[in-house]
Amino acid sequence: MAYKETFWMACDSIEQLRAEYGPFHTRLEAEREARNLGFGFLLRYEHLVGDQDDIQEVRCIFIELPPPATDGIHSALRLHTRCATCGESAVHELSWRAEVWADIHEFEHLRHRVRLFAQTRAEGLKEISDWRDACA
């Protein structure tokens, strides 16, 4: 009795020479990893497996992922806060968490100053110099 086997891959393009990462059992797993890697596509493989466990047919279906939602300056993959005085640091996914961390640290440690850095794959780590004014 023949059956269909499906698995998912994260991939960076639809070209023949592409990077693929996987396999994954679910689309959600593949999509999460594709976003982490900065890939814009998913690839669904469907294998039709025959009675003797031989692959009779292979289908490849590309799915383009929508671009991630951006909100201006905070569209970085990661935000890093670091105290210029004591060196304590933290990594944040959301801008408001970075601001709360900085507020708490500066409140608990008088005369400490927290700096904010945005990290993107394209530009690397860059300091956001006037971030306290931009958030107000």
Q: Given a cut of 80, is residue 73 above it in pLDDT?
A: no
Q: In what order do the strands lie in the sheet with 20-24?
A: 20-24, 3-11, 41-49, 55-64
Where does the pLDDT of residue 103 fall: very low under 50, low under 70, confident under 90, or very high at 90 and above? very high
pLDDT for 135: 55
Question: CA nearest 46: which of 35, 36, 58?
Answer: 58
**What is the pLDDT at residue 76?**
44
**Token pair in block for residue 31:** 């999509």
pLDDT 10s digits, 15-62: 888 999 999 999 999 999 998 888 999 999 999 998 888 989 999 999
- Percentage of residues of the chain with pLDDT beyond 90: 51
Three-state DSSP string of 22-49: EEECCHHHHHHHHHHHCCCEEEEEEEEE
Domains in the chain: boundaries: 3-64, 72-135
Q: How far is residue 94's CA from residue 78's CA, in Å, rounded to a whole number?
A: 8
pLDDT at 129: 84
Q: Confidence band (pLDDT; 50, 70, 90) for 74?
A: very low
pLDDT tens-place string over residues 79-98: 999 999 999 999 988 888 89
CA–CA dist 58, 56 (Å, integer): 7
Q: Residue 134's pLDDT is what?
A: 59
Q: Can you tell me the distance from the alpha carbon of 85 to that of 134, in angstroms, rounded to the nearest whole number? A: 22
The pLDDT of residue 83 is: 93
Q: Which of 135, 21, 41 is nearest to 79 (CA)?
A: 135
